[in-house]
Amino acid sequence: MLQMTLIIKGKVQRVGFRYSVVDFVLSQNLPIVGHVRNMADGSVHVIAQGDIEALKELHRFCTKGPPRAEVREVSEDLIQINKADFSDFTVLGD
């Protein structure tokens, strides 16, 4: 199992980005657990755990985001993990 951490920068807050990420994961039935949240610096932070193919799909989505988003940069960190730390994929914060 892998864990992918994404930091998405640009116009990514107040455009429905977090909820669109969760909707994408659920609508595509991706076997991913983790969370997505807004950061104080205006970026969106994603921690996702799953198999490489599902994580690639999520990464592709996050490079575009929802229609009102303007993604300028996506930084990624990928590590091997032994087991999932989460039971579902959710939005943190309000």
Catalytic residue from among 14, 29, 37, 38? 38
Is 18 one of the annotated active-site residues of the chain? yes
Is 38 one of the annotated active-site residues of the chain? yes
How far apart, in Å, are the Cα atoms of 91 and each of 45, 80, 82, 84? 10, 23, 23, 17
Residue type, 10: G
Q: At 74, which helix (H) or strand (E)?
A: strand 70-80
* Count of C-beta atoms within a 10 Å radius of residue 44: 24
Residue 90 forms beta bridges with which residues? 35
Catalytic residue from among 14, 18, 68, 72? 18
**Residue numbers annotated as active site:** 18, 38
